[in-house]
Amino acid sequence: MEIKFIKSIERDIQNWQNSVAAKSYGVEWKKFLPEDISIEDVRDSGRLKIYLEKNYYQNGEVSEFINWLENTTKPSEIQKDLTVLMDKKFINHVKIFITTFHRAPYNVRENFFYLIWRDANRKRAITNIYHELMHFLFHIYYWETCRRAGLSETQIHTLKESLTVLLNPTLEKRGLPADNGYPAHQKLRVQLKKLWSGEKNFELFLNKVLQLKIVAQ
């Protein structure tokens, strides 16, 4: 698997502007807007670009973070770990756009996702890569399974996000921070963790989850 980290202030601007208007999994993302910039400034691409250049790009912060990622991330190790977990062949390549906002969407069809720039606790970025790539495999191999079982799009997204709790034994083994998930999904994550302890084959485990109908709307 090939991972390419990309610096693009245009993509970053787009993510900021989309994020301040977005709400997902019980989170209103505008609450992460820094105090020194207004929503009106974010909506103005010119003013936002000046702000991002001054705070993150001209000083080399984003470039330095990408350099750290390139020297720290182990794509072959991540691929091996996720293949073992989900028992599926991995995608060939993925593009990762760095964003300086606290929201990181993804697009499976176009093989890219956003990764949040960090100036501290940088190992959490590697955890985030595991998290997003697990989503990719779930979309590719298991989304239709869930749909055929009668789950709504909302329910499938809830399940997808909650399933990342299964990463934690691997993350611990790799010396990485745990995947914590969203507050709204904590009860389901506990249930999934308990079920996984009795069935370590992902496909059989997922079938059991769907049969038990434990995913709420």
Tell me the pLDDT tens digit for each residue of 87-130. Answer: 888 877 999 999 999 999 999 999 999 999 999 999 999 999 99
Asked whether residue 118 is assigned to any structural domain, the reply reads yes
Which residues does 17 contact at the CB level (< 8 Å), separation at least 6?
Answer: 42, 43, 45, 48
Read off the pLDDT of residues 157-212 as tens digits, 9 standing for 90 and up: 999 999 999 999 999 999 999 999 989 899 999 999 999 998 889 999 999 999 99
Q: Is residue 136 part of a domain?
A: yes
Burial zone of 14 (CB within 10 Å; 0-12 exposed, 13-18 middle, 19+ buried): middle
Query: Is residue 217 in a domain?
Result: no
Q: pLDDT for 132-155, tens place per residue?
A: 999 999 999 999 999 999 999 999
Tokens standing for 100? 């300086």
Domain membership of residue 170 (yes or no) is yes
Cα separation, 63 vs 53, whole angstroms: 12
Candidate from 5-14, 25-34, 74-83, 177-186 with smallest mean pLDDT: 25-34
Ranges of beta strands (E only) in 68-151 are: 93-99, 106-107, 112-116
Whose CA is closest to 159, among 213, 100, 116, 79? 213
Give the mean model confidence (pLDDT) for residues 68-97. 93
**Taking each helix axis from N to C terminus, what angle separates 186-196 and 202-212, rounded to the nearest 10 degrees?**
130
Q: State how many domains the chain has.
A: 1
Residue 58 confidence (pLDDT):
97
Whether 67 shows a pLDDT value over 60: the answer reads yes
CA–CA dist 131, 176 (Å, integer):
12
Mean pLDDT of 48-75: 98
Question: Percent helix, strand and coil across the chain, each rounded to 5?
Answer: 60, 10, 30
CA distance 99 to 65: 11
pLDDT, residue 26, reads 79
Average pLDDT, the chain: 95
- Tell me, what's the pLDDT at 217? 54
d(CA 193, CA 197): 6
**Structural domain range at position 67:** 2-212
Whether residue 120 is contained in a domain is answered as yes
Q: Can you say whether the dihedral through the CA atoms of 127, 131, 133, 137 is positive or negative?
A: positive
Query: How many residues comprise the chain?
Result: 217
Predicted pLDDT of residue 177 = 98
Matching residue, tokens 């949040």: 116
The pTM of the full predicted model, rounded to 2 decimals, is 0.94
Nearest to 42 by CA among 5, 14, 69: 14
Cβ atoms of 54 and 86 within 8 Å: the answer is no
What pLDDT, on the 0 to 100 scale, is given for residue 133? 96
Distance of CA 22 to the CA centre of its chain: 16
